[in-house]
Structure 1
Amino acid sequence: MNSPPENALVARFATYGSAVEIGIGRRPAVAVALAEQGVDVTVVDIADPDHLEVPAAVPFVRDDVVAASRRDHPGEAYEAAVLYALNLPPELHRPALAVARAVDADFLFTTLGYDPPSIAAETESLPAGETLYVARGGE
């Protein structure tokens, strides 16, 4: 069972048919719930998958979003309708947005709570008090 904030994020991201979570870390609940709802979800992280808690049911790709943002094309793993990140540190906002733009995807993210977004973004208040940032185009 997910927490109310996780449920709110799942409901918001489930409006897309495909999604990529950038920086899954040890928090697979949102990606797993999206997969259970039929969303084609892939997770990406720089860490070794053996050190993460990503279930086998969710496709995992080991990659660095900063490196991906510098490639001519970030890679097939990022091809989705939405790229999202949870608790994304400010230094990764721009690279993640660059990857989203390169694959023509929306980019939605949460911060660590005390960090403001370092890119132009609209604030979306979700149920259970979760704040989601929706990157604006044309920055």
Structure 2
Amino acid sequence: MTGANISYPTVSDDRRAAVRRKLAGFGRHCEVGIGVRHEVAAGLADDGRAVTATDVVEREPPEGVEFVRDDIVAAAERAAGGSGGDRSDLDDALGDHYRVDCVYALNCPPELHRPLVRVAAAVDAACCFTTLGGDPPAVDATPLALPGGDTLHVARDPEGVLLG
């Protein structure tokens, strides 16, 4: 068979829309490591959800999305350091941008899985992520195959929103 004779199914542009629909059950979100692909954060904001995005470098967020420059690894270290004090000390150490219902990351490399979960656990938020393709999750997580081909790995779901 030559290339002209091969029929491929249409590639779904719904990959990130499926992630967005799954996250729509939460009112407040923090996307960690937003980078330059804003589809999910922008869509959630368009749907009336509160979204804060973080990254280690300054980014221009889409309309309706707040941006805070922060490093999830440093935030996880702050969370670990704040665990001996009271709740307000921990909240102050982490910052308002993590006081959300769900902390998530897209195309998250394995070295950031543990810090992501640690921060989400510190604020008792749900936590999920997609990986960089072939990378397995570096934390205990339940994989959810979504329409369009993405797999959302759910590491925390205290209210059963994602897995319920």
TM-score by length of 1: 0.91
Identity level (%): 48
Q: How does 1:42-121 map to 2 (within 5 A)?
A: 42-49=52-59, 53-71=60-78, 72=82, 73=90, 74-121=94-141
Specify whether residues 136 and 17 from structure 1 end up closer, same or farther in structure 2 by C-alpha distance, changes over 3 A only.
closer
Contact conserved, 2:42 with 2:63, CA < 8 A, in 1?
no
Paired residues, number: 133
Kindly name which structure, 1 or 2, has the bigger radius of gyration based on alpha carbons: 2
2: CA distance, partners of 1:75 / 1:100: 12
TM-score by length of 2: 0.77
Paired AA for residue 74 in structure 2? A
Gaps of 5+ in 2: 1-11, 83-89, 158-164
Give a deviation string over 1:36-90, Cα, whole Å, max 9, x none: 00111110111122xxx42243100000000000112322111110001000000
Paired AA for residue 59 in structure 1? E
Report SS of the residue matched to 1:80.
coil
Paired AA for residue 148 in structure 2? A
Gaps of 5+ in 1: none
Q: Name the Cα RMSD after superposition.
A: 1.5
Structure 1: 4+ residue segments shifted above 2 A: none
